Structure 1
Amino acid sequence: MSMNDNRLYAINDICNRMSKEFVTVDGNVRKIQKETLTPYKVATVILIKEYCNDTTKVIMERRNFCLASLKLIQSADMELDALLNMLYEPEYALHRFADRLEINLDAVHEKGIDQLLDLFDNLRRLMESKDHALSLPALSRNSVLGLYVRRMLIFFEKLAFDQVVALYNDMEKYVVKKIDSLENSDISISKQEDFFGPDNKAKTIWGGRQAELLVAQQAHALQTDEHKALPPVELRVLVQDLLKSNPYNADAHYLSYLNCIRVNDFCGAVDSLYHCFDRLAPLENRSTPEDRSRTFRYAALNLAVLHAQFNHKEVAQYALKEAIKLAQEAGDNVCLQLAHSWMSYLISKENKKGSLIERSVGKASLLGITHTTGLSLISHAHSYALEAKNPPQVFEILMKSDMLNCQHSMSDLMSVTFAEKSALWAYYGKMEMASLCGQLLLLHNTGDKKQHMFNGPSTCQAIVTVANMLIEFGEYALADIVLAHAKERFPNSPCNKIWMLSEQLHILTQLLRQEKWGEAEAVARNISSLDQLESKLRLVEVCLAKGDFPKGLEHIGAIEEHPHVTPPYVIRAALLSSQITCVSSLLDNGTAIATNCIMRLCSALELAAQNHLSYYKALVKMHLANIQLLMGLPVLALNSVKDAIPTVLGHGGCYDQGRAFMLYGKCLIASAPEKPFEARKEIILGGIKSLSKAQELFTKVNAIAKIKSIVHLQAVFYNEINLLPERNQCAFEFRQMDEQYLMTPTDLFLY
């Protein structure tokens, strides 16, 4: 797998980030979540009361209670046995307060509704000074627990008499259910069960505030740090629980929409999005026309984003036009700008895309939409690179994006910018810089003091970049560890496609080197689901390796006719085409075929120069040198190799470096003068030394066929200069490898 296969995949990250910024629920028309007083909440405030009235608390109890109370006020309603189990767990170890909670609940059960009324009277006194006006109350009114208790007091005061009686009856059932469960198990040794589990599905009751907090936490995790969110199946069960508690919760449907997007469930995503905006749709007789228009235009915009996520660009454009029309009627410049940004992504004509993005940057900056401005700047730099603008201009635009991202602390866009820089450096052939930017991205997202980290596709791409570098330098064990980390950290789409492609390319390369043509072809075809053009190129490599040249040329024709082919793919196709031509036809009609190959390679060289692709320029020059060597022009070939080899050695992997040393050695020996013998012998020894360096590099990446070719050449050249012991040693090594490995040496006509 070549390091040059990792080109400009960061644009996928850009469109993913654009989708996550623009698909927002319209908060202005959201229905208020209804919240009621439940026995679980009463039990929670009893626990708070007992803690505040206790004067013998130790440090560990204070810490444990703070953690437990936050979990209690943010979680769904739990049964009493589950609540007590949590307090008895070693993580919290609040045994004293759990025992007092049981005593208080038993008192409510035995003494009746008067005890419940006394409880709320005692809660009011918690926030009042006991001794004098300057003394501090047991519970601060403005603390997190104080605000929670005050809200429960308000709910209780609003209850009518029959509602208080109903609450008391619910409390009795709450306590009696715990007593019944104690007959079958000892609570002091039982464990708390996860309230998302199958045993507690029917028992989970979500209050309005807890549901809002949970939806916000999970939605934020899905967009910034997916591995911290619940797994897709568990999150779907959670959404179902939320909707059972409140069927009109639009945010829960929106969370379901994000969950469906992450697993590529198109039908579920569409259904969830429709349900979300059905709940948000204002009533005709209770809302203004502006509220209705706002909901409808943002619904159309979100639908366009949904289709864009699944690459349904034509359908997305129809929805986008509807959003634009509604936004123009309402004079909503922000909605228009968001639609305009997406139009620049969906449009297929490259000559119009650049001007659209430039206008998007200016308008978004004028309207103060900083996130959209940052994304537009990154897209602008990407577009400039594909339009073959000067690299300094491209990186200057990214520098502006860096400044904006730092000013507004947009950590997600900082990560995307690092990923784009890494992709651009790889595109321009500077793989060391690409690796450095990838490592800077990972460093940016590490550290114990980081409160907010972004773990999106850009982070996954940086991890895979590191893995690709390790693979290129033969560190396969380390690369497997890095890829395993990527699999564990990014199991879902779209991030999993990034490491899947790297993994499949690595497997394919190893199969080719082991001459397992059938398996290699199957893997190459499987890659089409991840990258169609990459799959075609890999199929050409398989055809070249096994000698199916007509099929290989057929795949090359399909690549050149592909509507979205980019300069790197065109150049790689030209290199493979020249190799097929060399192997299949050079011996029959040498001059004419060689001239045709040179013309094709010169066109590829010009394309590489126009697009500032320095590494591809070096590879093309290497292939040209190989053709010149085969034509009997060793001096010209040697000059071409000397011109290109610094770039290959500076930015190529072990395999490309080995090929460069091998070609250099062959050119050096071919250009050696016939006489005097001592001068020729010295040059041939220099060539053999270069071949030995190539052998070391090929050994590192386990390229056995190349090693056999080098050993064969060394034996021939040692024989020519009468170094018979060295010749015999090389012949012995060749025979050993030939017996151990069934691979045939590579064709000497190939670079």
Structure 2
Amino acid sequence: MAGVDLLTADQGARRPAVAPSSVVGFFVRRMSLALARLPFHEVTRVFAEFAAYHAAGDFPPVGAAAEPDDMELGPEPAEDVAGNDDNGPPPDDSCSWAGQRPSRRQAELLVSTQMELLQTNEKLALPPAPLQEVAARLLRDNPDLAEAHFLSFLNCLRVGELCGAVHSLYHSFDRMGAAAGGEPSRGLRYAALSLAALHARFGHRRAALAAIREAVTMSQDGNDSVCLQEALTWLYKLADDDETRGSLMRHAISKSGELQLHELASLGVQNYTELMAQCGARPADAFQQLARSDQINCQHSLPALLASGYAVRAALCALYGRPGLASLCGQLLLCLDTAGAGPHSAPVCGEPVALAAGQLARQLAAHGHYARADQLPLLDESARLLGQLEAWLLLKTVLHMRAVTWHELGDRDERNAAASQYRQLVTQHPTLDGRHLLRVT
């Protein structure tokens, strides 16, 4: 510490080694002050991390003289230049610490990148097993990194693991509440809301409603309007009465617009459009309502909801007896450029893309092109990456049954095998109803 202070200290006639008012001087003084305030166990941790960083970097020993060739200025060696002439993509900065102990900033960068990819485009994220290993390693090196626990939670949701998702969610918000300090109740509100989303994802309606009521109570106590609107969004998704759902949706849309919560407002408009169509609204009213969502998405640059709007429009066209327009909307969605401007921004490839690809597969099957529908690669990849493999297998089985039964393709053994596979899938997954897949208008 004394040697660091001498760098910026006034030494009389001699000028200091580092000017105190320079950028380097400010940095040295700030690091010296931070080091002086560290407790003993944090100082030992900093020393251990610096020793590990130095050992992994293969630095020359202190005091060793440099070779004369190393001090000469000249062109780079030929092998280095040839090694950099690579046509492949540049390496990901978030994984540049492979084989070394990651720093805190590297861990946060990797977690934020993977979380963004899991929400927008799962095929660009790490596979579930390697991602879980990365999260475990980050938690081993940074035990207080709450974001790594939340990344593990999203990864467990990705593969449908309930116990691991609950465990990771509890640990995540335990550490977020400890780090918040000033307002721990905010972390508890969003913890209850995330728990409600978890139970809703696995079909536990009563547990989800109980968690939503807890989140609403804490949000009202803390005067948190944003959390209240998000809880209201989940509440109308779980409501079983169409009249109640409609009333909650209208209130959520108007209140989200007042609070400038554009994403929630657009999502509410799309859900309300779907409810209107299911209740028998006129096509003009449904499409006019959906146009409000398109306006919000374009004004505030919401690519994920813009893709979802195309999927809703395709579903409306199919419902109102316009299969050609439904196929056109699906193709427009598949050709839509939804990539962002950030360094890790990826095109949206989620549930709307899988639904659009499924609509195209049904249209191909309706025109007798069963081989093309069965070999549609985008649907197979999107459904698998979304964790909807059962739904894709059910659709594939139904299309195969139509091919072998209605068009007299294959023999009796193939028809019996297709019917047996269909019954097995419906028995194992009662929430998957394939009867609506047979209706292609």
- Please give the TM-score of this superposition, normalised by the length of structure 2: 0.76
Equivalent residue number for residue 400 of structure 2: 507
Task: Say if 2:123 and 2:385, in contact at 8 Å, map to a contact too.
Answer: no
Tell me how far apart the structure 2 counterparts of residues 486 and 52 of structure 1 sit (CA, whole Å). 58
Q: Which amino acid aligns with 1:241?
A: R
Q: Is the 8 A contact 1:44 1:73 kept in 2?
A: no
Q: Does the CA-based 8 Å contact 1:250-1:276 persist in structure 2?
A: yes
What is the match of residue 261 of structure 1? 157
Partner of 1:429: 321
* Matching residue within 466, 488, 495 for 2:381: 488
- Checking the alignment, whether the CA contact within 8 Å between 1:456 and 1:495 is kept in structure 2 is no
Alpha-carbon shift at residue 76 of structure 1 (Å): 5.4
Q: For residues 239 and 303 of structure 1, do their structure 2 counterparts lie closer, same or farther at Cα, with a shift above 3 Å needed? A: same
Map 1:309-388; keep pairs closer than 5 Å: 309-388=201-280
**Residue 474 (structure 1) aligns with:** 368
Q: CA, structure 1 residues 431+210, in 2 after alignment: closer, same or farther (shift >3 Å)? A: same
CA contact (8 A) 2:339 2:346 kept: no
Residue among 321, 331, 335 paired with 1:439: 331
Greater RCO between the two (CA within 8 Å, min separation 6)? Answer: 1
Name the SS for the 1:454 alignment partner: coil
Rounded to whole Å, the distance in 1 between the matches of 2:93 and 2:350 is 30
Separation in 2, partners of 1:52, 1:395? 71
1:204 Cα offset (Å): 4.4
Query: For 2:118 and 2:73, how far apart are their aligned partners in 1?
Result: 41
Structure 2: how far apart are the matches of 1:62 and 1:380? 59
SS at match of 1:210: helix
**Contact 1:508–1:523, Cα closer than 8 Å, also in 2:** no
* Displacement of 1:491: 1.9
Tell me which residue corresponds to 2:146: 250
1:506 deviates by 1.2
Give the total of aligned pairs.
376
Q: Displacement, 1:498?
A: 4.2
5 Å matches for 1:106-505? 195=98, 204-282=100-178, 287-288=181-182, 291-445=183-337, 452-482=346-376, 484-505=377-398
Distance 1:447 1:249 in 2: 29
Gaps of 5+ in 2: 1-44, 61-68
The question of 1:39 aligning with 2:54 is answered yes
Deviation at 1:73? 5.7
Aligned-residue offset at 1:66: 11
Paired with 2:223 and 2:263, the residues of 1 have a C-alpha distance of 21
Name the residue aligned to 2:36: none
CA shift for structure 1 position 474: 2.1
Distance 1:447 1:324, change over 3 A: closer
Give the drift of 1:74. Answer: 3.6
Amino acid at match of 1:480: D
**Structure 1 residues 53 and 311: CA distance shift in structure 2, 3 A:** farther
Flag the 1:486–1:368 CA change in 2: closer, same or farther, 3 A. same
Distance in 2 separating the partners of 1:299 and 1:402: 31
**Which amino acid in 1 is paired with 2:433?**
E
Given the alignment, which residue of 402, 424, 433 partners 1:534?
Answer: 433
Distance 2:340 2:170 in 1: 40
Contact 1:438 1:462 in 2 (8 A): yes
Whose Rg is larger?
A: 1
Q: What's the CA shift for 1:61?
A: 4.4
Normalising to structure 1: TM-score of the pair?
A: 0.46
- Match status 1:75 vs 2:95: yes
Which of 392, 399, 417 is the equivalent residue of 1:519? 417
Instruction: Please give the per-residue CA displacement for 1:451-510, whole angstroms capped at 9, x wherever unaligned.
Output: 64100011111122222222222223322321x443234424444344223212112223
Give the drift of 1:346. Answer: 0.8
Residues 378-417 of structure 1: CA deviation (Å, up to 9, x unaligned): 0010111111111111111111111111111111111111
Is the CA contact (8 Å cut-off) linking 1:263 and 1:492 kept in structure 2?
no
Q: Which amino acid aligns with 2:423?
A: R
Specify the alignment match of 2:26 in structure 1.
none
For residue 444 of structure 1, give the secondary structure of its aligned residue in structure 2.
coil
